[in-house]
Amino acid sequence: MCQNPNEHPLNPSHFEGSSEEKQTAQEVEGGFAAYTKGMKFFDPHVHMTSRTTDDYQALADAGVVAIIEPAFWLGQPRTGLASFKDYFASLVGWERFRSSQFGIKHYCTIGLNSREANNEALAEEVMEILPLFLQKEGVVGVGEIGFDDQTAAEDKYYRAQLELAKEMNLPVQVHTPHRDKKKGTERSMAIALEHGLAPHMVVIDHNNEETVKSVLDQGFYAAFTIYPFTKMGNERMVEIVKQYGSERIMVNSAADWGISDPLAIPKTAALMKIKGISEADIQKVTYQNALDSFAQSGQINEADFIHGLEIDQSLKFNGNTVLRGGQAPRVDKNSIFIR
Ligand SMILES: [Zn+2]
């Protein structure tokens, strides 16, 4: 559930600030790869269903080896249970296959997003199918759930899904609201504690300078979305890591159908390197902490992707492939995709 305001017609750089900063920004936008050589990345929040194959290729080329796709709001409300069912099925089915065709290990979290929790009749039906999908292979948590407008219905289904997560011993991925963020974040954490969830099983997402201290102090994981306009820019992210260190902090792109950047993590890593943050700290916030938190689901085996996935684009999923007529399948990681 990551929206953008419509008032910005263009997609500018993530960077704000002085001309010196802007120069660094340009360097990172165009040449981040020079700084991130040898690094691997794990994006724990990216909505690939909304992205193209070019994005998958760019992610793979930039060193992103694994991703988590949270179930979310599609930009318009679904009108029936069948659309939820098909969407969840695609997250553990076609989308995972599509990702594998570019050498990226794909996991997902499954949940009822806050916005659609407000359609209570439908929400009740969705709650009934969640346990089935949460048991599926590669589902690493309940998410993304939480508050949007902070309504009574959102509260009700957030609590119900926390109970589900507790029962199934799964991590929770909590979306925090854009409006009244501080209040919404505190409320999300208080309710999680009230329901007896261990803070280390809860990833509080979309943090900023106002929320990070409390999230870390209370023992939760703190995720940051590097997103144009509404959330964190990467300059600000560098300052957060300088101030709070790398424990329990993670970076994500939350790239979706809006103005967003799937390469936000490698670009932020490059900027961190330029700004003197150690490679060990960079790898914690761009890889290891995402892995550690969601591996608590028991569904992630690092050995599956640490050395990259074997790519065989001649494979099919239910008879369908990522290729179109006349395109040659890529079967070797080092070969060129489009010939
Ligand atoms: Zn999202």
Question: Distance from the CA of 257 to the center of ligand 1, in angstroms?
Answer: 10
Residues, CB within 5 angstroms of ligand 1 (ion): 2, 72, 254
Phi then psi dihedrals of residue 141, to 5 deg = 170, 175
Burial of 308 (0-12, 13-18, 19+ CB in 10 A): middle
Q: With 50 as the cut, is the pLDDT of residue 335 above it?
A: no
Contact 65, 308 (CB under 8 A): yes
Residue given tokens 């340009």 in the structure block: 26
Question: Distance from the CA of 227 to the center of ligand 1, in angstroms?
Answer: 11
- What distance in Å separates the CA atoms of residue 166 and residue 142, rounded to the nearest whole number? 10
Average pLDDT on 231-250 reads 90
Least confident of 51-55, 117-121, 305-309: 305-309
Q: With 90 as the cut, is the pLDDT of residue 317 above it?
A: no
Question: Distance from the CA of 312 to the center of ligand 1, in angstroms?
Answer: 29
The pTM of this model reads: 0.90
**How many residues in total does the chain contain?**
339
Question: Distance from the CA of 136 to the center of ligand 1, in angstroms?
Answer: 20
Question: Distance from the CA of 37 to the center of ligand 1, in angstroms?
Answer: 28
Question: Distance from the CA of 210 to the center of ligand 1, in angstroms?
Answer: 20
Residues in a beta bridge with 273: none
> How far, CA to CA in Å, does 147 sit from each of 27, 153, 162, 301?
37, 10, 13, 31
The pLDDT value recorded for residue 249 is 98
Measured distance between the N- and C-terminal CA atoms of the chain, rounded to whole angstroms:
36
> How far, CA to CA in Å, does 251 sit from each of 60, 167, 193, 214?
17, 28, 24, 17
Contact 246, 268 (CB under 8 A): no
The pLDDT value recorded for residue 5 is 42
Question: Distance from the CA of 2 to the center of ligand 1, in angstroms?
Answer: 5
Peptide bond into 137 cis (omega under 30): no
Question: Distance from the CA of 102 to the center of ligand 1, in angstroms?
Answer: 22
pLDDT tens digits for range 157-194 = 999 999 999 999 999 999 999 899 999 999 999 999 99
